[in-house]
Chains A and B, each alone.
Chain A
Amino acid sequence: MKAEFTAEELGFQEEVRSFLNEEFPTEYREKVDANIRLSKDELVDWQKILFKKGWAAPSWPKEYGGTGWSQVQKYIFATEMGLIGAPEPVPFGMKMVAPIIMAYGSEEQKARFLPDILESNVWWCQGYSEPNSGSDLASLKTSAVRDGDHYIVNGAKTWNTYGQYADWIFCLVRTDNTVKKQEGISFLLIDMHSPGISLKPIVLIDGHPEVNEIFFDDVRVPAENLIGEENKGWTYAKVLLTHERTGISGVPRGKKRLTSLKRIAKETDDGFGRTMMENEAFKNKIAALEIDLEAIEYAELRTLASISSGKAPGPESSILKIVGTELAQRIDEAFVELAAYNCLPFVPDQFEDGFQGDYISPGSSASAALTYFNNRKATIYGGSNEIQRNIICKAVLGL
């Protein structure tokens, strides 16, 4: 048993580290550290820097312009990105729709869509959930009816993250009402600029319109935008869900946040002549978080080793999703406790680019509550943690 990287892997780690130190723009790094949201242009700009280096798509095979990295290399890359705070690629194009196009798309579709995803020329969003289909995704109702060489799409999708930026949306749509619900779903790519599409922003409890509801009113979609076979969309989407494991636990980000939590705790007066890092209860809380983070890191490494040795994907993604998101939320809570009164003011503008006013309790303490609020979504999205527990019950425990 050994957990060390090989000499080659260590060399790779060094290469990644020095690349990120040199090429991740200082301006973006400062914003990330101050919890200021990067704009669409900035995210795209950073993605294009990675593209130039040939590292835009670590999880893609070489033939499509990916890195062809081993599992360990992907892990190292994701870890170093997380530790420096460099944003991961917006997942909808790179990590979600691209693998499906590669696996089930036609040669024409690959040639048409993949290069623009790789170069971050086109912004994608996801069209899965509907107002009445959340955890029970397969009950979705948005319909696509064939009309000559087009589909006519009607319905509504919701929780579309960054839908306001999107050029394209990949959707699960109902193409057959007469069969079992999973068997009448197709996977359709839709141009967001098509007539009949409208979008309503949804403001989350941190005050930010991060997600949207998207309405389809007789939207004509060329039939050539169908991926694979009609009514096989559910199978394609399910394969994707167990496919994307790297980085799901958020360990590097957790480490970075704990480092900053400790730094702030050392600078924060507990009101009784000590720092919060010297406060017994808070110190123990941080220790407990560190210990859990270590357990998760080794759970992820064990998964990594098992996948690298060619074992089939198991329920690991469910375990890592549950523990990763729940730990992240406990870290959010620790930031709120540390900030105390300083996180009560709601001055969202001061986390936007170009804010000119007076800062009210600036820095990470001011954003602690907003982060805590926003991140309640983490145990709900991507298959809620209840659904993940169902998967473990079914797939592992045989219940």
Chain B
Amino acid sequence: MDFSYSEVQQMLQDSVKKFVSKNYDFDTRSKIIESEAGYSKENWQLFAELGWLAVPLSEEDGGLGGSAVDLMVMMEEFGKANLVEPFLPSAVIGGSLVAELATNDQKSQILEKVVGGNLQLAYASAETGSRFNVSKVATSAEAKGDDIVINGKKIAVLNGPNADQLLVCARERGGESDADGISIFLVDPNTPGVTIRPFTNIDGQKSSEIDFIDVTITGASRIGDPGDAFAAMEKVNDKAVLGVSAEAVGVLETLLQKTVEYSKTRKQFGTVIGTFQALQHRMADMFIECQLARSIVVMAAMKLDSSADQREKTKAVSAAKSRVGKAIRRVSQEAVQIHGGIGVTNELDVGHYFKRATALEIMFGNTDYHVERFASL
């Protein structure tokens, strides 16, 4: 039994840590969020140069292997930095979807640019009525001669405002919740009929709602076989779930560390508040939660990499997200509470980690959803 990182994973972790300590302090991050793009183009190019954008893809797709443990290592460090660059929507989700579904021709046109930082993707999947159900797709794709016409509305499209291409899931056949009948289309956001309403999320990330009204694209824009995208969508979704769970581990450990540090410096009643047993025990519980969160994410990452059984993988991922979700509530709320008033202000980074943790709990299925999904498998 050996839970230590490989040499490559260790190098990857060190390289992210180094970048974060040099280039990503709280003030820099705040300025990046206030900028129009909402992310740093320089950072993005650097990520490409460092090979980070290739980590989610297999070697045959021009990547560095695409292992879940590698992804976990990176996402945890990104969580510690509360990074806003669109690594997850573009490199992880976008890149992996294309890798799963596309023809070799399509791959060569898209993936090299994604890995090189020259093309950003966004995944338009969730809808007003879908909640967390990946197979519930009301957006329609109808053949019209050689063309395809897309109609529908997508919500929570991360990186939508900055994406060069959108990966839109739309239904070609079947009922609204059928797994069969869904396809992924590559859509240029400048196509007539595409309306993007951009906004910043509560955690500083760029997101959007997108309307598709009679959006006409060529049949060649379809990624994969008609109506056959669901299995790939679910696989990529599980990868995203693992990614946000690992990121949450980084966020929570940072909150714990900052809370303990604060309790050692903040004085009330003539002593530092860290000497109060009532607070000590709560910080001990936060530590336990962080350990359990880390452990179950390690479990899920290892199963994603090694298990041959898809059901077992999915179950592991849902277990991780639901358990991490519980840890998110406890650790992030206690971090704010123990900080007191300063914890609910925008002036301190703690509140921003709290907001990111809250968003991570929701993304790709909240705690209740994943408990239910685990039970149903």
The reply to whether A271 and B130 contact each other, CB–CB distance below 8 Å, is yes
Scoring A residues 115 to 141 as 1 if CB is less than 8 Å from chain B, else 0, what string do you get?
000000000000001001111100100
Of A273, A343, A379, which is within 8 A of B362 by CB? A343
Determine if A241 is an interface residue (Cβ-Cβ < 8 Å).
Answer: no
Whether A396 sits at the interface, judged by CB under 8 Å, is no
- A345 at the A/B interface (Cβ < 8 Å)? yes
Secondary structure dominating the interface of B:
mixed
Q: Is B35 in contact with chain A by the CB < 8 A criterion? A: no
Q: CB distance A346 to B201 under 8 Å?
A: yes
Q: Which residues does chain B contribute within 8 Å of A384, judged by CB atoms?
A: 337, 340
- Spell out A's residues near B (CB within 8 Å): 129, 132-136, 139, 158-159, 202-205, 207, 268-273, 279, 281-282, 333, 336-337, 340-347, 358, 360-361, 369-370, 372-374, 376-377, 379-381, 384-386, 389
**A272 and B133 contact, Cβ closer than 8 Å, known pairs A342-B155, A360-B209:** yes
- How far, in angstroms, from A340 to B372 measured CA to CA in the complex? 16
Q: Is B329 an interface residue (CB 8 A)?
A: yes
User: What would 9 more interface pairs be, CB under 8 Å, given A345-B202, A347-B199?
Assistant: A135-B268, A135-B340, A136-B269, A271-B129, A272-B133, A281-B368, A281-B371, A374-B344, A376-B344
State which of A132, A269, A377 has its C-beta within 8 Å of the C-beta of B267. A132
A271 to B131, CA, bound (A): 5
Asked whether B362 lies within 8 Å of A344 as measured between CB atoms, the reply is: yes
Is B145 interfacial (CB-CB < 8 Å)? Answer: no
* Contact (Cβ within 8 A) A369 B344: no
* Complex alpha-carbon distance, A273 and B136, angstroms: 10
Cβ of A340: which chain B residues have Cβ within 8 Å of it? 131-132, 362, 366
Cβ contact within 8 Å between B199 and A360:
yes
Q: How far is the CA of A133 from the CA of B355 in the complex (A)?
A: 26
Task: Return chain B residues, CB-CB under 8 Å to A360.
Answer: 197, 199, 209
- Measured CB to CB, the closest approach of chain A to B311, in angstroms, equals 19
Contacts of A343 in B (CB 8 A): 202, 362
**Is B200 close to A, CB under 8 A?**
yes
Report A-chain residues with C-beta under 8 Å of the C-beta of B200. Answer: 345-346
Which positions 140-183 of chain B face chain A at CB distance < 8 Å? 155-156, 177
**Chain B residue nearest in CB terms to A339:** B362
In the bound assembly, the distance between CA atoms of A273 and B176 in angstroms comes to 10
Q: Which residue of A lies closest to B347 (CB)?
A: A202
> Which of chain B's residues have a CB closer than 8 A to the CB of A133?
268
Determine the residue in chain B with the shortest Cβ distance to A386.
B278
What are 14 A-to-B residue pairs whose CB atoms are below 8 Å?
A: A129-B341, A136-B268, A158-B341, A268-B131, A272-B177, A279-B368, A281-B371, A341-B155, A341-B362, A344-B359, A361-B155, A373-B354, A380-B340, A386-B278
Which of A273, A281, A340 gathers most chain B CB within 10 Å?
A: A340
Q: Assuming the A-B contacts A345-B199, A370-B202, are A204 and B344 also in contact, with contact meaning beta carbons closer than 8 angstroms in the complex?
A: yes
Partner of B156, one of A272, A344, A358, A377: A344
Q: Are A205 and B344 in contact (CB under 8 A)?
A: yes
A385: shortest Cβ distance to chain B, in Å? Answer: 8
Closest to A393 in B: B278
Residue contact A336 to B362, C-beta cutoff 8 Å: yes
Cβ proximity bits B322-365 to A, threshold 8 Å, 1 near / 0 not: 00000001000100110011011111000110110011001000
> Which 6 A-B pairs rank lowest in CB-CB distance, beginning with the nearest?
A271-B131, A271-B133, A136-B268, A205-B351, A341-B156, A203-B346
B residues near A269, Cβ cutoff 8 Å? 129-131
Determine whether B207 belongs to the interface, using a CB cutoff of 8 Å to chain A. Answer: yes
Chain A proximity of B89: nearest CB distance (Å): 13
Residue of A whose beta carbon sits closest to that of B351 = A205
Q: Using Cβ atoms and an 8 Å threshold, which residues of chain A touch B129?
A: 269, 271
Q: Which residues of A contact B177 (CB under 8 A)?
A: 272-273
- Is A344 a contact partner of B268 (Cβ separation < 8 A)? no
* Residues of chain A lying within 8 A (CB to CB) of residue B344: 204-205, 373-374, 376-377, 380
The interface bits of chain B over 176-214 (1 if a CB of A lies within 8 angstroms of the residue's CB, else 0) are 010000000000000000000101111100010100000
Expressed in whole angstroms, the Cα–Cα distance for A379 and B340 within the complex equals 9
Task: Considering the complex, give the chain B residue whose CB is closest to the CB of A377.
Answer: B344
List, in ascending order, chain A residues with CB within 8 A of B131's CB.
268-271, 340-341
Report the bound CA distance from A372 to B371 in whole Å. Answer: 23
| B337 with A379: CB separation less than 8 A | yes
CA distance A389 to B281 in the complex (A): 15
Q: Contact check, B341 vs A203: say whether CB atoms are below 8 A apart.
A: no
Give the residues in chain A near B197, CB-CB below 8 Å. Answer: 358, 360
Q: Tell yes or no: B126 within 8 A of A by CB.
A: yes
Min CB distance, B354 to chain A, in Å? 7
Closest chain-B Cβ to A358's Cβ sits at a distance in Å of 6
CB distance from B203 to the nearest CB of A (A): 8
Bound: A158/B340 CA distance, A? 13
Complex: chain B residue closest to A202, CB-CB: B345
A159 pairs with B347, CB closer than 8 A: no
Closest to A134 in B: B340
Complex interface: chain B residues within 8 A of A342 (CB): 155
Which residue of the partner chain, among B207, B268, B329, contacts A345 with CB atoms under 8 Å?
B207
Q: Are A344 and B201 in contact (CB-based, < 8 A)?
A: yes
- Most chain A CB neighbours (cut-off 10 Å) among B132, B136, B340: B340
